[in-house]
Amino acid sequence: MYDPTPDSSPAPETPNPLARADALEREITDLCAHINAAGYRLLQLVAELDDEEPWGAWGLTSCAHWLNWRCGIGMNAAREKVRAYRGVERQAEREQAANQHAARELNYYHDEDGSLVIHARLPAEESAVVLQALNAAMDARNAEQKETESDDVTAVTSEPPDQFAQHRADALT
């Protein structure tokens, strides 16, 4: 028979089948983040030990041998760990060089008095070449001036510090 009174009891909860999977996913991703952070720190420490090279005092031939001996890491895996950090360092150096290359610029304008004003941003390696050339030109110019000053008895031997920038400008031209 039909009972017209509504059922006031709460409906039984149906479990969310994805709730457990969501919780597992969060825990797994958290653990992976910790493992990656610990792995990165391990590689940093391995690199520091590799730079210091103390294993010779322990009768070992490399950082990989030390990792094998003290940490139980297989030789291939130990070599990979030592190479891995070096690879990361090389990749970081390549990225830095690429960023410097992308940011290179040379701008110039003529000032109100007609003087040329130059502003340059060069990657480290290229700037070293430019500075080396500029210093060589300054040295050659200084040698030239010393020869002429030895002929001129009235030449002043000391120069104000701001003249160094002037000598660089002279060497540039």
pTM above 0.85, yes or no: no
Residue with tokens 């070599």: 79
At residue 133, φ and ψ (nearest 5 deg) are: -65, -40
Whole-angstrom Cα distance, residue 66 to residue 49? 10
Each residue's pLDDT tens digit, 31-51: 999 999 999 899 889 988 988
Beta strands at 105-110 and 116-121: parallel, antiparallel or unpaired: antiparallel
Please provide the DSSP assignment of 90-112 as one string.
HHHHHHHHHHHHHT-EEEEEE-T
The pLDDT score that the predictor gives to residue 5 is 64
Q: Calculate what percentage of the chain has a pLDDT beyond 90.
A: 35
What residues of the chain score a pLDDT lower than 50?
155-156
Sign for the pseudo-dihedral over CA of 130, 135, 138, 143: negative
pLDDT of residue 117: 93
